[in-house]
Each structure stands twice: as structure tokens, then as C-alpha cells.
Structure 1
Amino acid sequence: MSLRKYFENLTLADCLLLTALFFFSYVVQFYYKHFTRPNKLPGPFPLPIIECAYCFRGDIRQLFTSLTKKYGDIYEIQLGGIRRIIISRPEYIEKFFNNSTKHSTFMSRLPYTQGIEELGVARKGLLNNDDFKSWRFNRQFFTQAILSPSFNNEAINRTKLLFEELEGYWKSLGSTNPDDEEWSLKTDFSKWFHRFTNDMIVVLTTGERSYSMGSYYNTLSPVKASHPDTLIDDSDRFVKGITQFVVGVSLFVFLGPFMRHYVPIIRDKANSVLKNRDYLFGKLDTIIRKRRQEIEVMQNKELKHDMLTSLIVANTERDINYKKTVGGEIFLPMTDIEIRSNILDAFLAGTDTTANLFSFITYYLCHYPEVKRKMLAEIDSIVQPKSSFQLTHNDLSKLRYCEAIIKEVERIFPVVNLTSRYAASPIEIGGYQWPVGTTFHIDFVSLHRHKDYWSNPEAFDPDRFFHDKMNESYLNVKYENIIKDDHNNNTKDEKVGKKYSFVMFGGGFRICPGRKLAIIELLSLMVYVFGKYDVELVDKESPLKTKSSAITNCQELMVKIKPRFQQL
């Protein structure tokens, strides 16, 4: 009661004085910690509360590339209450890509933060799971589904079926006569392929169809797609929700709780991300409950082979690899939250990244006609001109120049801007000894254009990768080895930098498990789109319209398409 009376008797002047003393104490502690930190590196000077957020202009890619140019290959930045070490030299990153799952020094991408917990994705699934045992369990069933031969055969078949659906929409929009073969269409490629990859990952992951391409078609045409309106509307909202979630993650990773909760503009954006998160979680929970009910009904029938079904039956008697215990350890079925996290990870990693990279491929091909000509010559030599064709793994493995184009576009304009690693034990990086708890970020944009490892790094030149020796040196992105699930990392090649000067799918035991699917989609789309259609930019002088957070999103890519004179 005496303490209560004390506060009741405080005057306004007393309150202001206490506030000033509290703030002064905070500032002293903040700068004491800053000036006594180990291994003082160059970087922007942090300010109390906002830290280095004053450098942020809304674009993560621009932020870190500009800081790297100013401060060099290793520097620091204070954001979200965390001291972050930014690196962009190949020799600095090799230790982060240890192939052995027995070593978990860099298991965590980031230290525990309130932001990731607030998003509801901490320690769940794969992307943000820093519990090694839980991550390995989830990874086992994730890869068991997505890396299987049947899954990848289905991916090739589904790509063809979905592209045929897409072609129907294009022709309907571009022609007035259904029999007209001389039609043309001006359209936004980025919108179409974000929806294409969404429909692709949904059907491969859950076994259910979504109709986000049909939804976009309905916004452009008075003649509506032949799908129920409820499915169309739901698909449209879902694909927008995935994109919004990806863009919004950076707010919760790089900005502290004060910025997210009290700074008006940022607070509104953070609340919008959380509202969208609740929608996505609810949508996925409904899909999971529906499939559980289907499985219960199908007691004596063969189950589907999609990822969702595999995760639901994992560690149950319907799992063909079921083991109740091993060495006294009891294996439990996956909870709905764990399943939801894995499915969400698949959506997040398998939708926007592939769609954006294909948009960037299109942009560069339209600016480099000689590269496009060589690509078409390769496509036409492998897929003979005819009215219809079905790609096979063998066809895709022959597209060596197309592979080189994919790699060079990813080198010069990577979709993923940064990856993070958190040191669980002391380590030497860049000539410094770093204590436990240090957070590192690998800047892929600066790494892939580093002048010490790439000749003429700003030039677009797929021939960098179009060599037998070069293809052998990038085993984790070569089509044949992806299909064989080769986990080897890049080996040194004298023509292209050195080991780890190019990192497309990450490395080590956290290498992207969806890399096979990504390559299948990209190569197949290059054949179907450019083999069957002439594609030109509407405005060749216009720069790429992008927005960067965790990844760089293509906001718009206006093109003009028409059937090629020689139809396939």
C-alpha cells in the first residue's frame, strides 16, 4: 500500500524525471554494450531503440548491397536487438555448409526472437526449426515425399497439365476466334507464374487442386473460368496470403518489438501480417482435418502418395516404415501443428522463389537475343516440333544451356537475398574468434557479384556455366545430380571464382529439399513457354519492378506473347 501511495503522490514533474532517468540508464547500458563488444567491425552506428533501422528504406536487397559496398566483405549491423555479422566472401561461408547431420553448430538460422515466436513459426517444421532432433524428424518425412521418383514424375506431368490450362487462358484473352492461331496478348508474366507455381505446389503437396490461375483469368476476362466461384475466390486469397506472409517475415526478423508494436506505420504492417498469418493457419488446419477424415474412412484402401498424407500417417501403423520404438525411444505421430508447419514451409519455399526466378529469366532472355537464340536452338534440337509432346527426365537432362541460363540469372539476380546462421559454439570466421550466440548473415547478392571471384561480374553471360567442367563443379544444381539427390557442394573451378562463390540452393544439411522440383519446373517452363511462344517485353527500357524482403519479388513483368511460327 505504501508503494501505491508513493506513485499516487507523484507529480507530473516527478513522472518526467523518472522517465528521463530510465531512458538515460537504458542509453548508457546500450552504448556500454556496443563499445565493449568483441571484434569491433565497421558498420552503421546504432541509435537507441531504433538501432540501425534508420538505414532501412523498405528494401532489404538495397539495404545490404549498399552497406556491403560501403563497409566491405565483413561488417556488422544492429537490428531487432541482435548484432548481425554480414559476410560475402566464399572462404567465410564454407564452415556454415557442413554436410554432416552429426554436427549442428549452425543448426539454427537465427537466435530465438520474440518476432519469430509471434509469427508462430519458431521451432516448427524445417525453415525455422532450431531443435536438431525435431528438425531431423521433420526433414526425414519431408524429403521422403518430395524427393521420391514418383513425386518428380508427377511434377513433370503436372507441369504439362497446368501449362495447358494456362495456354487456354492466354488464347482466350488474346484471340477473338477460338480457331485463330495468329493471336497475341499483352499480359503480366509475374502474375501468371506466381499463380502457376502456387497451383503446382498445392496439388503436389496436398493432392488437392487450387485455381489461382483461373482466379487471375477471371479478373481479365468477361468469360469466366469453368470452376466454381468459391474455389476461384479462395485460391486467389490464398496465393495473395502466401506472398504477403513472405514479404512480412522481415518485419519480425529485423525489427524489435518496440518498432512492431508502437511505431504507427510499422505497427499497422505487422498487424496486417499477423491477421494474414491467422488466415493461412486456419486454411491449412481445415485441409489437414479434411485429409485426416479421408484417411480414417479409407481403413483398408491404398492411401495417396502426396506429402500431406505421408505426414499425417507418419509414425502410425499405416506408415510403411513404422517403428514404435528404437533403443527405448518412443516415436509419436506428428501433431497437426507440426504438419501445418511443414506444409506451410513447402508453400513458402516452393511458390514465390520459382515464380520470381522464372520472371527474372524471362526479363534477361528478352534483353539478350543471342542468348535466347541459342536457348531455342537447344530446345528445338531436343523437343522435335509437333503438336503435342510430353517431357521426360531424359529430355530435361539434355538442356545444358538452359541450365546455364538458370544459373547465370540466379547469380546476377538471386531471388533469395540472405541466409542466416547462428553459432551454437565458438568459431573462427574472417580472422576473428566469435563467441557462442553470434548471428551471421550471408549476402548472396554481393557474393554472386564479387569482383575478386567473377570476371566482369555485372555482365550477363550464361557461358560462364556452359562447360562440362563447370557443370561438374556445381553438382548441387546440375539436373542429373539433383534427380539423384546428390548433396555435394560446389568444387573449385578456375573459370568461375572458387568454391562457394555461387550458392543457388544453400548447402550442407540445410540444403533446399525442394531443389529438384524447382529445376524441373524451371526447365519445363522454359521449353513450354519459349519453345511454343514468342515472348517480348512491352517496354524493354523499363527496369525490373521488384520489392525485396527475405526474397526479391517481381512486382510486374509486362510482356507480349504470340505463338511461334513453327508450332511445337
Structure 2
Amino acid sequence: MNEMGIYSNHEYSSWKFNRNVLIKCVTLPKFLKEIVIELQEQFKELENYWNDIESAKSDSVKSDSNNQKSNFKNDSSTTNSTKKVRNEDKIIDISKWIKCFTLDIFLQSITREKSFSMANYYNQIMKDDEENKLKGIEPILDKNDLFVSKFKNSLWLLNQFNFKLIGLPNFFKKFFLVYKLYYRKYFDDYWWFHESLLRIVRARRLEISNSPKEQDLKADMLTCLINSGLKTDDGRSTTDEEIVFMMKDYLSEGIGTISNTFSYIIYYICKYPTIKYRMIEEIDSLYNNQNDTFTYFILAKLYYCEAVIKEVSRIHSVYPLISRISNEKDNIGGYTWDNGQMFCINLHAIHNHKYNWNNPEEFDPERFLYLEEKKAEEKELNEKDYIGNSFVRKNINIKDPLFSFGIGLRSCPAKNLAMIILKTMVVMFLRKYDVILMDKNSELQINYNNMLNNCEELKVKIRPRHNNNNNQ
């Protein structure tokens, strides 16, 4: 596992080759166009689930109201109470829905296969309501639920292996067999999921080879990986195994990062409604019709929304720690470290230290808006002191290091894709809904597990904006 893919690959030539192939895929305009459209289509499905749940609740309230009316015909307060309940805001756990939404879109964008995670979660919520549950698709849901559970167990094992086993001294690694026996189920699930992806890759490669050359193929991730890896500068093509590992990297690193970051965004803009309404104003200035489909090109104009996303990533990193392994003997901090030594970098400390940031404890998206406005000017004035990416600016007077997507060559190759997805999700949500925390004094419910800050629960009230006067 340590010489394949990108994330856990310690063999430089293989890592470089795979990284270059993946970058070609995630920067392909056709792929970016299609994933933005797919996100919007899937958001409509998410809205349908929310509406169906609300409709079921309303029917239940209406039924209870009719029963009460038959017994208390002269009680006018019953009608008023019923009206109030029927018009109340939708109450949802946004963190759970967004995790299902993200899993669905990532699996669909890479394999064209639906995971039906939102459908499964909907049925869980409606488990006591046989009339409104999704029916007739139980075999499909069960099949895909099995696929998703195998994927989650594979991800869990991979994180255990990377962050716990690799960092152990050689003496303990001799007992790897014991470790493997203890977690046998997870190893079995890992290889089951691996073989399933391998079959999908081989079937897609055969489909592509049998397609007419003039046929315009759909730009899903898997098709892009196969086509981008057919002819490379290294003079070789990607193997099926390499593609499988890149697919797993894309899924494992993308789903948790995107879903949790979006939950954090919702939390912080609810805490700071002035910021939320400024984001809404920016979105409305670009999209007058809530039902219009938009393209990824227009997302570049969302300067303030992007600043908010960056500030959320700074103040509450999804990955507060990242690891690096030295490839040669070196002296750091007065100590000599051998080749192969693992280091952990505290991103949370870097992102919240007063040496790096002015007033780091304040939630202030303006700091990144300033960076965007000054970026071109600073590059022209002092090329040497400017680091040319959208997340880091450096000059003599101030340093603003944001490393949400990692540091250096090992930084996430899909960071621009991640920003496009997050912007799209923000636009889809805020142009149609206003959102309020159920408990304005609540803190984020975070479970730190396997290097990931996972948002366990975030209950909010959402209301259609066309019925809202922005008064809370």
C-alpha cells in the first residue's frame, strides 16, 4: 500500500507519475463543468427528501388536528396551533445529510454508480412511517449500503495503518500479524472494496477501448484517469491497480474534507449572521433566479464566499495535524533525525498563532479578501516574496500561511477542485435557504478520529428565502 496511489505512496517516481495523472484529471475543464452540473442535480434530490419529510410531518399534524377537531369543535386554539406547526421551519441535522450528499456525489463522479446514501438516510428517518418510506428499491439500497459500509471500513483500516502502524518502532511491527488477525474483518472488507473497484476499472477500460474514436465520452473521474494515463511524459500508461489506488485516495481524502468543511461553514455563518447575509448578497448579485443552473466559470467571481471558506478552514481545520516522512538524514531543532522518521505538523497551531495572524481568535474573512485584492499587485512588486497559489501570501511585513490542503509537494493535488465543490455547495444552499442554529449558544460537536475533525451533529432550522425577510 505504500508504493501505490498518491496519499500513502513513499516511492517518489511512482508518486510523481500518479500525481501528474490525477492533476490532469481534476483540472480538465470538461470534468469541472460536469461535476458542477451533477452537484446541482443532486441538490434537487436532497431538497426532495427534505420536502417529503416535511410533508409527512404536516400530514401527521393535520391528521392529529382533525382528530382533535372532532372532539373539540369549538376550540379555536387548535386551528391556530396547527397552522403554526405546519408553517414552522424545516429542522435537519445538516452534518448527516451533507455527509450522505458528499458520498453520493463523489462515488457518482468517479464511477457513475449511485451510492444511494441519501435515500438510505431518508428511509432511516422514516423507518416508522411505512406510507412515506421509499419502497420497491430495498435490494438496491441493501446492495449499495453494503458497498458503502465496505468502503468506510476500508477507509478506517487505511487510516489505522497510516497513522498508527507506520509510526511504530520496528520491534512492534514484528507483531503486525497479530494486528492483522485482530482487525481481520477490516482487512477482508478492504480487499473486497479494492476488488470491486478493480472490476469497475477493467469494465470501464474495456468500454472505452470498444467505443468509436469520434464518440464524446462522459468526463467522469474514472474515464479521465484512464484517458489521462494512456499516454504520459514518462512513456508508460497507468495500470488498473494504480487507478484503483488513485480512486481510493480521491474518495477517502475528499469526502470527509468536503462534508466537514461545509458543516463548519454553516456553523460559523450562523454564528455571524452579518457575514451570512453578505455572502447572500454576493450570490444574489450573480444569480437572480434561484432555479437557474450555473457553471463553474462564474464561481471565480465569488470573492467573499471564497474568503469565508478560507477563514473557516483556518480557524477550524478539518485536518489539524498532517504527517511527513523524511527521505534523508537531517538535523532539525538541534537533533539528528534518521531517514524514514515520521513528523507531525500542527496545522491548527500554525493557523491560530498570533505570530502568523492578526487577531487569530477572531473569525474575520476580510483577511483573505485583502489577500485576493492585493495578490496581483504584490506579485508584480516583489516576485521573490510572493508564493504563487491562492492560499499563501508572503511579504516582509506579514505572513499569512494557510495550509488547509497540506504543504509543499505533498499538498493536495485537488485543492482547486475542492474549492469549486465547496463554492458550488454554498451557492446552492444559500441562494435558496436561510439557515439558523437550533441552539445559538451551541458549540461544534467534534469527534477527533484518525487525524480528522469530524462534525458529529449540527441541527439547524432552514427556511425558503422567498418566504423570509431576513429577520430572526
TM-score, normalization by structure 1: 0.66
Match of 1:491 in 2: 393
Q: Distance in 1 between matches of 2:119 and 2:136?
A: 8
- How has the CA–CA distance of structure 1 residues 208 and 441 changed in structure 2, closer, same or farther, with 3 Å as cutoff? same
- How has the CA–CA distance of structure 1 residues 471 and 232 changed in structure 2, closer, same or farther, with 3 Å as cutoff? farther
Could you report, residue by residue, the CA deviation over 1:213-250 in whole angstroms, capped at 9, with x for unpaired residues?
A: 12211222342447833332333344444444444444
- Among candidates 530, 540, 547, match of residue 430 of structure 2: 530
- Among candidates 80, 95, 99, match of residue 190 of structure 1: 95
Preserved contact between residue 391 and residue 402 of structure 2 (Cα < 8 Å): no
Q: What's the CA shift for 1:399?
A: 1.5
Residue identity opposite 1:233 in structure 2: D
Match of 1:231 in 2: 140
Q: Distance in 2 between matches of 1:274 and 1:147?
A: 33
Match of 1:211 in 2: 116
Preserved contact between residue 155 and residue 520 of structure 1 (Cα < 8 Å): no
Match of 1:220 in 2: 125
Q: Distance in 2 between matches of 1:544 and 1:239?
A: 26
Q: Distance in 2 between matches of 1:220 and 1:552?
A: 25
Preserved contact between residue 532 and residue 564 of structure 1 (Cα < 8 Å): yes
Q: What's the CA shift for 1:365?
A: 1.4
Match of 1:503 in 2: 403
Could you report, residue by residue, the CA deviation over 1:453-496 in whole angstroms, capped at 9, with x for unpaired residues?
A: 22332222222222255662899xxxxxxxxxx7576221578x
Residue identity opposite 2:293 in structure 1: Q
Preserved contact between residue 489 and residue 508 of structure 1 (Cα < 8 Å): no
* Alignment pair present for 1:552 and 2:432: no
Q: What's the CA shift for 1:387?
A: 4.6
Once structures 1 and 2 are overlaid, which stretch shifts more, 366-375 or 428-437? Answer: 428-437
Q: What's the CA shift for 1:380?
A: 2.0
* Alignment pair present for 1:541 and 2:441: yes
* Alignment pair present for 1:345 and 2:249: yes
* Alignment pair present for 1:451 and 2:354: yes
* Alignment pair present for 1:163 and 2:163: no
Residues 302-451 of structure 1 mapped to structure 2, 5 A cutoff? 302=215, 303-312=217-226, 319=230, 321=231, 331=236, 333-384=237-288, 386-430=289-333, 434-451=337-354
Question: Number of aligned pairs?
Answer: 421
Match of 2:13, SS? helix
Match of 1:186, SS? strand
Preserved contact between residue 320 and residue 452 of structure 2 (Cα < 8 Å): yes
Q: Distance in 2 between matches of 1:530 and 1:200?
A: 19
Q: Distance in 2 between matches of 1:341 and 1:424?
A: 22
- How has the CA–CA distance of structure 1 residues 399 and 229 changed in structure 2, closer, same or farther, with 3 Å as cutoff? same
Could you report, residue by residue, the CA deviation over 1:490-526 in whole angstroms, capped at 9, with x for unpaired residues?
A: 221578x515x32122233322122222111211111
Match of 2:402, SS? coil
Preserved contact between residue 492 and residue 498 of structure 1 (Cα < 8 Å): yes
Match of 2:40, SS? helix
Q: What's the CA shift for 1:134?
A: 1.1
- Structure 1: unaligned runs, 5 residues or longer: 1-120, 476-485
- How has the CA–CA distance of structure 1 residues 489 and 398 changed in structure 2, closer, same or farther, with 3 Å as cutoff? closer
Identity, in percent, stands at 35
Residue identity opposite 1:165 in structure 2: E
* Alignment pair present for 1:254 and 2:164: yes
Q: Distance in 2 between matches of 1:403 and 1:305?
A: 26
Match of 1:541, SS? coil
Could you report, residue by residue, the CA deviation over 1:90-137 in whole angstroms, capped at 9, with x for unpaired residues?
A: xxxxxxxxxxxxxxxxxxxxxxxxxxxxxxx22111111121211122
Once structures 1 and 2 are overlaid, which stretch shifts more, 425-434 or 194-203? Answer: 425-434
Q: Distance in 2 between matches of 1:363 and 1:519?
A: 18
* Alignment pair present for 1:562 and 2:442: no
Preserved contact between residue 408 and residue 462 of structure 1 (Cα < 8 Å): yes
- How has the CA–CA distance of structure 1 residues 451 and 227 changed in structure 2, closer, same or farther, with 3 Å as cutoff? farther
- How has the CA–CA distance of structure 1 residues 471 and 532 changed in structure 2, closer, same or farther, with 3 Å as cutoff? farther
Match of 1:20 in 2: none
Residue identity opposite 1:208 in structure 2: E
Q: Distance in 2 between matches of 1:541 and 1:271?
A: 43
- How has the CA–CA distance of structure 1 residues 182 and 153 changed in structure 2, closer, same or farther, with 3 Å as cutoff? farther
Q: Distance in 2 between matches of 1:536 and 1:494?
A: 41
- Among candidates 15, 19, 25, match of residue 135 of structure 1: 15
- How has the CA–CA distance of structure 1 residues 191 and 261 changed in structure 2, closer, same or farther, with 3 Å as cutoff? farther
Residue identity opposite 2:204 in structure 1: R
Residues 16-55 of structure 1 mapped to structure 2, 5 A cutoff? none
Preserved contact between residue 115 and residue 148 of structure 2 (Cα < 8 Å): no
Q: Distance in 1 between matches of 2:373 and 2:26?
A: 27
Q: Distance in 2 between matches of 1:232 and 1:474?
A: 53
Q: What's the CA shift for 1:296?
A: 4.9
Could you report, residue by residue, the CA deviation over 1:371-413 in whole angstroms, capped at 9, with x for unpaired residues?
A: 22222222222221x3511223343122211111111111111
Q: What's the CA shift for 1:297?
A: 4.1
Bigger helix share:
2
Q: Distance in 1 between matches of 2:416 and 2:427?
A: 17
Q: What's the CA shift for 1:346?
A: 0.8
Q: What's the CA shift for 1:272?
A: 4.7
Match of 2:393, SS? coil
Q: What's the CA shift for 1:289?
A: 3.5
Match of 2:191 in 1: 278
Q: Distance in 2 between matches of 1:193 and 1:536?
A: 16
Q: Distance in 2 between matches of 1:182 and 1:494?
A: 56
- How has the CA–CA distance of structure 1 residues 460 and 275 changed in structure 2, closer, same or farther, with 3 Å as cutoff? farther
TM-score, normalization by structure 2: 0.79
Match of 1:294 in 2: 207
- How has the CA–CA distance of structure 1 residues 227 and 514 changed in structure 2, closer, same or farther, with 3 Å as cutoff? farther
- How has the CA–CA distance of structure 1 residues 152 and 122 changed in structure 2, closer, same or farther, with 3 Å as cutoff? same
* Alignment pair present for 1:153 and 2:46: no
Match of 2:431, SS? helix
Q: What's the CA shift for 1:292?
A: 3.6
Preserved contact between residue 34 and residue 219 of structure 2 (Cα < 8 Å): no
- How has the CA–CA distance of structure 1 residues 338 and 390 changed in structure 2, closer, same or farther, with 3 Å as cutoff? same
